[in-house]
Structure formats: structure tokens, C-alpha cells
Structure 1
Amino acid sequence: MAAERRRIRGAAVAAGRGLVLSVLSLAGSVTLFVLAVLSVTFVVLGIGLVTTPFVLEVVRKHAGQRRLYAATWAGVRIPVPYRPFPPDLRSGFTGQVERTLLILKDPATWRDLQWLLADMTAGCVVSLLAFGLMVYPVEGFVLAAGLWRVFEDSTYWYAFVPVSSQLTGLAAAALGVVLLGLGTRAAQPLLRAHFLLARVFLAPTQEQELALRVHRLTETRHEAVDTAAAELRRIERDLHDGAQARLVAMGMNLGTIEALVEKDPAQAKKMLAMARESSAEALAELRDLVRGIHPPVLAERGLGDAVKALALRLPVRSEVAVELAGRTEAPVESAAYFAVSEALTNAVKHAGADRLWVDVHHAEGMLRISVTDNGRGGAVIGSGSGLSGIERRLGTFDGVLAVSSPAGGPTMVTMEIPCELS
């Protein structure tokens, strides 16, 4: 009974969303299609050079809104296919012309216009059907309840049922029951079908996806090189200021000890103790440095145990679930480990969480890691944030980062890296 109520409630929500989508399809898509066609046509007159970038930007926002609804309402992911604008785009009228040409040369622009056509026709019909199958039965019930008397001297057609008496009114109610049963089962699939139709046009083609992937990998490779260079400079600085300085001081102390060993044995003994302490501190610093480069537990025990070791060192309660049937390549393990480490640090330092959950598993050629906390929420991926660093680190291996963090929490950071287990 509870499952039936949930199904009816879900169908009612889907029907309401179908109405929203049909309004957006009719009012939004029709208007934007007309404006876009007129603007592109007026490019030859010069007017379109000013209006086209603005109009097509609105079209892209309209499509972006539909992508958001697809993900949140039906779990349908529609990737963004647009080519990025070059950073050295000029300003003024010349820049406006360049911008217009770049937008018009982007295949995704013309696919957006095709989607507007499909959305205002088939997309609108599908979404209206999701709404109509839940609302139209109400008319049958109202007819059976007494509205049929209005049509007593004439015939009113409810679907294929002619209504003119109580008996035919009851027949309309029976048909309404059938349609309502159909609606409760079909509303959500119809809503999903609307978004699947949109994905046909809004998602990148295989060629576009390959081009975008190459562009993204090129960017992440550059970032990886820059990160590696910065890491080398950090290691050099840590060695120079830390262990190297201690070793130099220890060498000087040993030279002094050598001169004092016969003249002042007590002082030499005291300096030997200092040298021993310096050597222990230098060794500890070297171990910390090595752990920062590649933790020994990661090399020896693998990603699962390394993440568990990370969680044990946290000042809050944590639960770690690991399902890995083997090990990934060392670079992927290292990237995943430091990404989890950064996510955990963010949760403790910025989210004010007192409970953490980490899930690590591998399925369908993808390493998936989620870090969830019960903190205050509001985390976003932005320039300079720790999440941006995680995104860049994962991007080196064609991985992706997704963050769900509503105000008030909880926050879930999900990481995916394509890889195989050995």
C-alpha cells in the first residue's frame, strides 16, 4: 500500500513537471527558435552580428536549464558540447564579429536549433501526455458525478465515450479509472522519454565528444606538467630548508666533535647527543617528505588500506567501505589517494563535520569514490578551492568530480576515474 502511494505521488509530481516542460517547450523553445532564425538571417545585413551572440547565448542557457532538469528530475545526464572561446578574443566590433563566427561555426549551435524544433513538437507532446494522462481522468469522474446533466439534451464526447446519461457518465468514469491507472504507470517514463529525446540533440556527437576530450586532456596534461614542476620545487625547498640544513649542521658538529674528542671528552659527548637528535629529526623529515610524495602504506597495501589509514588519523568518526578486487596502476592509485585526502581535509577543516563516510569500489571499468560528510554544506567547485585541485588531479586521468552540497548539508563528493584492476 505504501509502495502504491509512493508510485501515485511520483506520477503526480511527474505530471506537474510535464506541465512545466510543455509550457517551456511552447513558450520558450518556439520564441527562441524564431528569434534565433531571424538573428542568423540578419547576419548578412550586419544587424545579426550584434544580436546573434546574445540570442544564441540565451538558447544555450535554455538548453542548459533543460540539462539541469534532465539530471535532477529523471537522472538523465546530458553533457555540454560547446567549444570554448579562445582567451585572446578581441573586444569591440571586431571581437563581436569573431564571436559571432565562432558560435556559428560550432556544430553544437545548429544542433541546439534542431533541438528547439524537436522540443516544440515531439518534446511538447510527450510532456503534455505525462500531464494529460493524470488530469484527463478527473473529467470522467466529474461527468459521472453529475456534470452529464448539462449534456442531457445533447451528446458530449469523453474520449470515445458519448456522454448523455448517468449510465454513459459511469462509462466515462470507468474509462477515467483506466486512464488514471495508465497515467500512474506512464507519467515518469514519459518524462524520461522527453529528456532522452532532448539528449539526442543536446549531447555531443561522437566526433564532438572526441574533440572535447582531446581538448580537455590537453589542458589537464599542461596542468599536470605545471603541477609536477611545482611539486619538484616544493620537494627541493623542503629538502634545502629541512633535512639538508640539519645534515649540514650535523656535519659541522661532527667536525667540532672530532677536534674536542681528546681535549674535552665531556663536551664532545654532549655534542654527540645533539648530533644524534639532529640525525633523528632529519630522518623524520625525510620520512614525512617521502610520505607526501608516495605514502608507504599506499605502495605496500594498496588504495583501500591507505584510505582506511587516512580515516584513522582524522579527528572525527569515520566509516570506510572498500570493494576492490585488485589494484590499479600506481599513478591512478596515487591520484585517487591524494584526492580522497584533500576531500577529507576539506570536510574536517571547512564543513564542520563530525561524521564522515567513504566508499571505494570499482565497477564497469570505473574506479568510483564518494566522500560524504554531515557538515554545513555549501561546497562549490571554484578557482582556488581544494575541490578545483581535486578536479585538476582527476582530469589528468580523464576522471571527473561531482559535488552535491545543499545548504545545511550533507555534502557528497563523488570521484570517478576510468581504469582497470590488475
Structure 2
Amino acid sequence: MPAGLRAPFEARSWRELGYVLLGLPISVVLFSYAVTMVSLGAGLLVTFLGIPVLAAALAGCRAFGMLERARARGLLGLEVAEPEPLRPRTGSGPLAWTGAVLKSGASWRALLYAVLQFPWAVFSFCVALTFWSTGWSLLTYPLWFWVFPMWAGQGGIQLYGDDHHRVYLDNPFEITVTALVGLLFTLATPWIVRALTTVDRLLVHGLLGPSRLSARVVELESDRGVVVDTAAADLRRIERDLHDGAQARLVALAMDLGLAKEKLAQDPEAAARMVDEAHGEVKTALQELRDLARGIHPAVLTDRGLDAALSAVASRCTVPVQVDVDLAERPAAAIEGIAYFTVSELLQNISKHSRARSASVDVWRSEDRLMLQVTDDGVGGAAVSAGSGLAGLAERLDAVDGILVVDSPAGGPTRVTAELPWRR
């Protein structure tokens, strides 16, 4: 059935109607409580009692806010996060709690909700109940119009009447037209109620949820944790690479040179061979240290920028990579480093997992954002799932207000787009 015909019978429509009908009694209680307590607290501000009474009024509004969020979640399917909790700055006694309530923006927004929601609840209740009752009454009129001639002494619903003339809906044509009008009202009512609840959604989300500032603070705290964890993971990786690579090789080199020194007087030829082997080990250790330094921050990136650095990392990929960097100037050094390591990790994924024949890297600036796009013609199927390398990469980008978008259908091609702030 079309959505317009299904709407009167859908569970969603009845839940939204229930939300509107419940809104009136709840708003009456909430408005009465808020106005009474705030008025009492304001009147008592000439004494010390006004402050705790006002704090109690705001705390009660916050409690009603919890009820309203639960009602919106259950009947409207609206998920609204809890507002920022009360955080007394000093101590944990009644005075600290009172100060925290009065200073909390969420408390005053809950009070504003109590004031604004009452007139809107009255309006939406009257509109929704009128349309709903009128629609269903007229739609079912053919089933109950017999009540009028049998019990009311008139032919049907009276449309007009005076001392000389009366008009009743009493013949089959008029009864059918009445039912059709009721059908129109019945079909329109769910959409009218849905429009009314849209305003309720805005009120609940805007006044009973966390503020943009507090949400941003929570986001920054989370990003800070990601940055700290990422830095710790990088330090552990560097320590592991040093311990298992260059450090172990240098320890073995020191032992070999010690043995060569002992054999120098007795067997010069054997000592020369050992020194030659140690020379090779030194070269290998130096290469490992260069690779490790490149993994921390490549010198070519500092000296020549993204174009040269990405061309260098692309040359080490197992598939041919075309690099196109279109930047008139260089971004902030930190952003440049993140961009380099993002492309480097994506090219490593191409080498290990994609089975691609070719790849491309495009870098450009869009207003105040640095855009990266890495594409390959491999088997596809890449996803930002929990525990994957792409998930860790997405977290790193998110920590600096960046975005990672992966488009990788099965069978390919794979296109990974990263967006970073320019921050010059």
C-alpha cells in the first residue's frame, strides 16, 4: 500500500499520537511546577532561602527532562544524549551542589523547555485530537448515523438549522460524501501529527540534550585520549623496532668486533673476514636506522614537502603508483605529517591486501581543507571495521577534525578519501 494509505494504521502514527496526547497532562504538571518553584525562589531571594529553592526548581526541571527524553525515545524513536552532568568545582556538600545546579546551562535550558513546551502542548493536543476524532467519526458515520433518527428524533448530523429550515446528512449520497470527507481527514491526520511532533523533536533535542559547547568538549577529550594512545603506540613501536632490529644487530656487531680483536694477532686472515662481515652488518644497521627515522618523520618531507615525500613512498609500493599533488603552498607541518603517514599506510594496505595492478594518489586543497584520495583497481572489500588498520587510521584523522571515507565494493575498485584541516 502507498505510504499515504498505510499511515493511519502504522504503529508509528499511533505512537506519535500517544506522544501528543500525553504531552498535555505532563506539560501542565511541569509548567505548574516550574512557574511555582521559580516564582517562590525569586520571591525569597531577599533571604538566603531563595537560592536553594531556585536550585531545587532547576533540579526538578532536570528530572522532568529525563522523563521527557525517555518519552521521546520510546514514542518518537528520538535518541538524545544526556546533558553535561553537574560538576561542583569545590567540595561535595549542599552548597557546592546548589552552585553547580545554578551555573549549569542544562538546568536553565530545562526550565526554558518547561515554559515553552506548555503552550505548544496545548496547541498540538487540540489540533491532533480534533483532526483524529473528526476524521474517524465522519469515516464511520455510515455505521452509526442510525442513532439520530432512533434516539435523537432527527435525520442525522445537522449542518444548518433555523426557525424555518434544517439541513441534515440523512440520505445515502450525503452519508457517502461525509464518509469520504472523514477518509480525507483520517489520511491527513498522521501527517499533521508528524509535523507537530517535529517541533517536539526540536524542543527535546535542542533544550534537553547536551549543548554544542559541551558536546565539543567531550569530543575534544575523546580526541585527546586518541592522540595520547596513538603517541604511546608509536613509542612502543619505535622501542620494539630498535630492540628487535638495530639494537640487536649492534650488539652482535660489538661481539663480532671483540672476537676479531682477539684473533687479530693469532689469525689475521680470520680477523679480516670477521671485520668484513661486521662492515656489512654496519651497513644493514644503518639502513634499518634510516628506515626507522623515515617512519618517525622523513627528512624529504621536511625539506621538499608532500610531493617529493609521497613520490618517494610511492616508489616503494609493489604496484605502479601515479602521484598528483596540486598544492600552491604547504599546509601546517603537523597536518603535512599526518597526510604523509595516511597515504603511506594506505599504500602499504594496497601492497599487502589489494592484489591491484595499479594505484593513484591525488592531493589537493579545497578551501581550508587538505584532500587526499588513494585509488586502486584491486579486489575491493575494504571496510572501516573495528580492529582494522583503517579503523585506527580513521581515529587518528578524527583526532584532528579529519574525516576518512572508504568506498570499496566487492570486486573493486577501492577509493579512500581523507579530509584534513589546513591549519596554516
Letter in 2 for 1:55: G
Tell me how far 1:58 sits from its aligned partner.
1.6
Alignment of 1:248 with 2:250, yes or no, is yes
SS at match of 1:16: helix
Structure 2 counterparts to residues 197-212 of structure 1, below 5 A: 197-199=203-205, 201-202=207-208, 209=212, 211-212=213-214
Deviations, residues 351-378 of structure 1 (Å, cap 9, x unaligned) = xxxx9653xxxxxxxxxxxx368x9xxx
Match of 1:310 among 316, 338, 349: 349
- Asked if the contact 2:158/2:169 (under 8 Å) is kept, the reply is yes
Tell me how far 1:115 sits from its aligned partner.
1.9
Q: Which residue of 2 aligns with 1:150?
A: 147
5+ residue gaps in structure 2? Answer: 160-166, 302-308, 315-322, 324-338, 375-379, 405-416
1:356 & 1:127 partners in 2: Cα distance? 51
CA gap 1:202/1:140 in 2 versus in 1, 3 angstroms: same
Letter in 1 for 2:400: F
2:128 & 2:349 partners in 1: Cα distance? 49
Deviations, residues 378-414 of structure 1 (Å, cap 9, x unaligned) = xxxxxxxx99x9998566434699xxxxxxxxxxxxx
5+ residue gaps in structure 1? Answer: 338-354, 359-370, 376-385, 402-414
Letter in 2 for 1:137: G
Q: Which residue of 1 aligns with 2:178?
A: 172
- Asked if the contact 1:250/1:278 (under 8 Å) is kept, the reply is no
1:98 & 1:293 partners in 2: Cα distance? 49
Structure 2 counterparts to residues 61-76 of structure 1, below 5 A: 61-65=66-70, 68=73, 72=77
Normalization by structure 1: what TM-score? Answer: 0.57
Tell me how far 1:142 sits from its aligned partner.
1.6
SS at match of 2:201: helix
SS at match of 1:90: coil
Letter in 2 for 1:176: G
1:66 & 1:304 partners in 2: Cα distance? 47
1:279 & 1:132 partners in 2: Cα distance? 88
Q: Which residue of 2 aligns with 1:364?
A: none
Tell me how far 1:213 sits from its aligned partner.
6.9
SS at match of 1:171: helix
1:72 & 1:31 partners in 2: Cα distance? 23
1:132 & 1:14 partners in 2: Cα distance? 19
1:131 & 1:289 partners in 2: Cα distance? 72
- Asked if the contact 1:10/1:188 (under 8 Å) is kept, the reply is no
Tell me how far 1:253 sits from its aligned partner.
3.9
Normalization by structure 2: what TM-score? Answer: 0.57
CA gap 1:130/1:238 in 2 versus in 1, 3 angstroms: farther
1:52 & 1:266 partners in 2: Cα distance? 92
- Asked if the contact 1:133/1:187 (under 8 Å) is kept, the reply is no
1:390 & 1:99 partners in 2: Cα distance? 41
2:80 & 2:20 partners in 1: Cα distance? 19
CA gap 1:265/1:63 in 2 versus in 1, 3 angstroms: farther
Match of 1:100 among 93, 98, 101: 98
CA gap 1:420/1:97 in 2 versus in 1, 3 angstroms: same
What's the % identity of the aligned pairs?
16
Deviations, residues 245-296 of structure 1 (Å, cap 9, x unaligned) = 2253144145236524671645764786587578658856874785587998
Deviations, residues 107-129 of structure 1 (Å, cap 9, x unaligned) = 43223222233333324644775
Tell me how far 1:148 sits from its aligned partner.
0.3
- Residue correspondences, number: 345
2:126 & 2:362 partners in 1: Cα distance? 45
- Asked if the contact 1:140/1:176 (under 8 Å) is kept, the reply is yes
Q: Which residue of 1 aligns with 2:400?
A: 397
Deviations, residues 119-161 of structure 1 (Å, cap 9, x unaligned) = 33324644775676566433223212x3000022245469xx9
Q: Which residue of 1 aligns with 2:377?
A: none
1:66 & 1:25 partners in 2: Cα distance? 9
Q: Which residue of 2 aligns with 1:90?
A: 91
Tell me how far 1:170 sits from its aligned partner.
1.9
Letter in 2 for 1:252: A
1:253 & 1:79 partners in 2: Cα distance? 62
- Asked if the contact 1:247/1:282 (under 8 Å) is kept, the reply is no
Letter in 2 for 1:397: V
- Asked if the contact 1:137/1:180 (under 8 Å) is kept, the reply is yes
2:217 & 2:275 partners in 1: Cα distance? 60
CA gap 1:71/1:220 in 2 versus in 1, 3 angstroms: farther
Structure 2 counterparts to residues 237-316 of structure 1, below 5 A: 237-238=239-240, 241-253=243-255, 255-256=257-258, 258-259=260-261, 260=263, 263=267, 265-266=269-270, 269=273, 276=280, 280=284, 283=287, 287=291, 291=295, 306-307=345-346, 309-310=348-349, 313=352
Deviations, residues 284-310 of structure 1 (Å, cap 9, x unaligned) = 687478558799879756757854753
Deviations, residues 193-242 of structure 1 (Å, cap 9, x unaligned) = 432354564577xxx64x54774587468657755764675366346534
Deviations, residues 41-71 of structure 1 (Å, cap 9, x unaligned) = 4682687488557524423323544675799
Q: Which residue of 2 aligns with 1:192?
A: 198
- Asked if the contact 2:403/2:419 (under 8 Å) is kept, the reply is yes
1:372 & 1:135 partners in 2: Cα distance? 50
Letter in 1 for 2:60: V
1:96 & 1:194 partners in 2: Cα distance? 34
- Asked if the contact 2:16/2:194 (under 8 Å) is kept, the reply is no
Letter in 1 for 2:27: S
CA gap 1:106/1:240 in 2 versus in 1, 3 angstroms: same
SS at match of 2:91: coil
- Asked if the contact 2:169/2:175 (under 8 Å) is kept, the reply is yes
- Asked if the contact 1:253/1:271 (under 8 Å) is kept, the reply is no
Alignment of 1:58 with 2:97, yes or no, is no
RMSD of Structure 2 on Structure 1 (CA): 5.6
CA gap 1:393/1:181 in 2 versus in 1, 3 angstroms: same
Deviations, residues 15-34 of structure 1 (Å, cap 9, x unaligned) = 22322322442343333343
